[in-house]
Amino acid sequence: MGGAGAVRAGLPAPAPLRIGNASGFYGDRFDAVREMLTGGPLDVLTGDYLAELTMLILGRDRLKDPNRGYARTFLRQLEEGLGLAVERGVRIVTNAGGLAPAALADAVRELADRVGVPVRVAHVEGDDVVERAQREGWGQGALTANAYLGGAGIAACLRAGADVVVTGRVTDAALVSGPAAAHFGWAPDDWDALAGAVVAGHVLECGAQATGGNYAFFTEHLARPQDPPGSLQPSVEPFAHQTAPGSGSAELLAGRAAPAGPARRAPYRPGFPLAEIHADGSCVITKHPGTGGAVTTETVTAQLLYETQGARYAGPDVTARLDALRLTREGPDRVRISGARGEAPPPDVKVGLTRLGGWRNEVTFVLTGLDIEAKATLVRDQVEEALAGQRPAEVRWTLARTDRADAAVQEEASALLRLVARDPRPEPVGRALSGAAVELALASIPGFHVTAPPGKGAPYGVFEAAFVPAASVPHTAVLPGGERLSVDPPAHTRGLLQLDAPPLPEPLPAGLPTVRAPLGRVVGARSGDKGGSANIGVWARSDAGWRWLAHELTVERLRHLLPEVEELQITRHPLPNLRALNFLVEGLLGEGVAAQARFDPQAKAVGEWLRARQLDLPEVLL
């Protein structure tokens, strides 16, 4: 009987599973593997190295060498980490295999032999469908095409005794749900338990973002100038037990930053997160003692909202209902997530495709002092005239008014005029473009200069998503002994139906006194990319704040606050259980991060832009 079944039958449940994360992207903190293995007890250590842009990078690596399509940093981390993991009984699960999981598995075996640490290595494959995509015509020109597999293959490898499991493209959350399913013996239709593990995996997948990294209210976690030199930044919530996300003035008040003084702050270095997963799928998000940052209901809320779309969080194993979750503070740096509900997964799985979109180049002109608009017009007209004979297919100009009047520093007196050009061919964005810019050096605006010499142009990538039947993807676990185990697709599936809008709280009383101030005084936000679209999650810090936010921040209000999205399709998803709203802004990022269509190509700072916008805030919230 599996763990979830044992709980339902009233039998003793297996011990909780402690799963940590040591990487949120390819390039994350190198020392995190050692930190997590030596910082406290763990059962499993995961590493997430893959993102949409990473797949394109690995695809270009593979063009040079068929065995180079994996995250090589992981091997260097294992040189020290493998012995530590075996010594402490920690299993390692990672998607660092990228486009070549079998090759990375072989490299791990070679490394183990070299360092004298015997381990059983397994890998998961079947996600690479690029040949099929090209053959069937829905992936023409694709450099990579990878289906997002679930955690069942990982679970099979662990059940077979693997110490290290390497995968290609699986969902980020599968790195956690797979080990949990293996540990607790969950059946494929233990939807609620699987959903809980998927939620835990989503919180862990981005590493330190769950422990105070990239957090809207980061100043509340900084060490204060009066703290002793070298002391850790405070991470203890000094308030009583509460069962809702945040509490505004109460939560982390003792950690609020003091006015700047001559004393030097301790560096802000959030630790990496871990989850204590229970047999019913509930979990506690925490971190190793003594590490930096903080785990609070709000840091967890921020990550739950990150790059999700609505109340249903669909995956290949289960669809998790984010609208059923409950967050509870259990103590310093401990947040329990419970109430997870799961549904059968969709019949189709997502396939991420990358391809080379063409060639791009950019030039940033610095405009200083007076007559900024006139200077921008002159530079634009001169460059456009020079390009007339070989104009790139796409030319985009943006003027950032970073200047201010009567500035005491030259940089603060300057605005930035950015030109981005794209074309299927390299020539129009190469010498033709750089020459048009450089040749203006003595014949244009007063004070003419650019931020950097124009380059010769470079190829850019495009990401797009497709969907194929889950049963058509050959999900295979290659066990430590070399046996190949085919993983069956879900026996039950369910299409994603639109949910009815949840009831909203009563609005605040009309006529309350207001103050003109930035929205971020009363709400937090976190934003990110989903292909060519952007996700903006916004949460209130108190019940009163939620009563105001739920009625104030409509789609129309968002369009007004962020004029750049005014013409785009926007969907709003309320999540009352998190006191949060999640917005999906379609098309803001063009063809995805690799295309670098805008100033912030991954929409990482759109949430902070929103928080900086001013509107009339009820005084009672301040």
Phi–psi pair at 500, nearest 5 degrees = -65, 150
- Tokens of residue 87, six digits: 């010594």
What are the CA-CA distances from residue 439 to residues 24, 399, 418, 436, 491 (Å)? 43, 21, 17, 6, 65
3-state secondary structure of 27: coil
Contact between 273 and 204 under an 8 Å Cβ cutoff? The reply is: yes
| Residues in CB range of 154: below 8 A, 6 or more apart | 93, 124, 165, 167, 170, 174, 175, 178, 179, 182, 477
pLDDT averaged per 10 residues, the chain (length 622)? 58 88 97 98 98 90 88 96 98 98 97 97 98 93 96 98 98 98 98 98 98 96 58 36 36 35 67 98 98 97 94 97 97 97 97 93 97 98 94 95 96 97 95 94 97 90 93 97 97 91 96 97 95 94 98 98 96 97 93 76 95 97 96
Neighbours of 304 (CB within 10 A): 25
Phi–psi pair at 464, nearest 5 degrees = -145, 160
Residues in a beta bridge with 323: none
Residues in a beta bridge with 273: 287
Q: What is the pLDDT of residue 2?
A: 59
| Helix H or strand E segment including 358 | strand 348-368
Rounded Cα gap, residues 350 and 149, in angstroms: 9
Q: What is the pLDDT of residue 223?
A: 67
Q: What is the pLDDT of residue 230?
A: 42
Angle at 51 between CA 47 and CA 54, to 5 degrees: 100
Q: What is the pLDDT of residue 554?
A: 98
3-state secondary structure of 382: helix
Give the chain's length.
Answer: 622
Residues in a beta bridge with 218: none
* Residue tagged 């919230």 (tokens): 621
Rounded Cα gap, residues 613 and 218, in angstroms: 18
| Helix H or strand E segment including 449 | strand 449-450
CA-closest candidate to residue 58, choices 98, 14, 104: 98
| Residues in CB range of 122: below 8 A, 6 or more apart | 105, 157, 160, 162, 164, 165, 166, 477, 478, 479, 480
Q: What is the pLDDT of residue 404?
A: 96
